Copies of this chain bind each other. A is one copy, B any other.
Amino acid sequence: MNHDTILHSLIADNLVSDPESARGRLLREAARLFRDKGYERTTVRDLAAAVGIQSGSLFHHFRTKEEILKAVMVETIRLNTAVMQAAMDAADTNREKLRALISAELESINGQTGEAMAVLVFEWRSLSEPSQAEVLKLRDIYESLWLEVLTALKEEGALVADPFVVRRMLTGALSWTVTWYRPERGGLSQEGLTDQVMAMLGLSKADSR
């Protein structure tokens, strides 16, 4: 199950929009703008211009501006949960499963579609409370993947700290990479960065204690 296969299966189930469709293109541009300028600083006129229509025409596709933000978040979390699940299933040991999760999360936030993931993390407050509750449910599924693996590692004795705390720390640390990590400028590769995170946790391959 590679990334594209997962994407198309979700599109078929109507769980995420086809990036080729009008809706999909708008959501992608919206994610980019929301990440670059923030939700509040992005106007409906900005959004419309990005896809080449009039600002009023946006409201044929979405009832409100906030609905666009919500759609970006919901579709992003759906896609990423599926991708993470697949990455985890493909790994054998718990240590490898964790590595797969870290690598996948780094990819999802720093990769090509990373705009949407950054929006999910940093624009949370701009979502109305009812919408937050909705997205929160989806996020719980996503988080349970992590806790499962971290708890297993703790039981193995490979992890000293509390799984719940470690996951929260990793959430912050990994999402923060979007503010400083620039792989295209040379230096550390994404795999290299994953290694660094594993090393930081004392979970490198060579490192058995």
Contacts and interface: CB of A to CB of B under 8 A. Distances in A.
A41 B38 contact: no
Which 4 pairs of residues, A with B, have the shortest CB-CB distance? A172-B176, A40-B40, A169-B173, A202-B202
A169 B197 CA distance: 8
A124 to B, nearest CB: 8
| Among A169, A193, A199: residue with most chain B CB under 10 A | A169
Chain copies in the assembled complex: 2
Contacts of A168: 173, 176-177, 180-181
Contacts of A176: 168-169, 171-173, 175-176
Nearest to A162: B196
Interface in A135-193: 160-162, 165-166, 168-177, 179-181, 188, 193
30 contacts: A38-B125, A38-B126, A40-B40, A40-B41, A160-B199, A160-B207, A161-B196, A161-B197, A161-B199, A162-B196, A165-B188, A165-B193, A165-B196, A165-B200, A166-B200, A168-B177, A168-B181, A169-B173, A169-B197, A169-B200, A170-B173, A172-B172, A172-B176, A173-B173, A175-B176, A176-B176, A200-B200, A200-B201, A201-B202, A202-B202
A122 interface: yes
Contacts of A179: 172
Given A161-B196, A172-B174, 4 more contacts: A165-B193, A168-B173, A169-B200, A172-B179
B172 A177 contact: yes
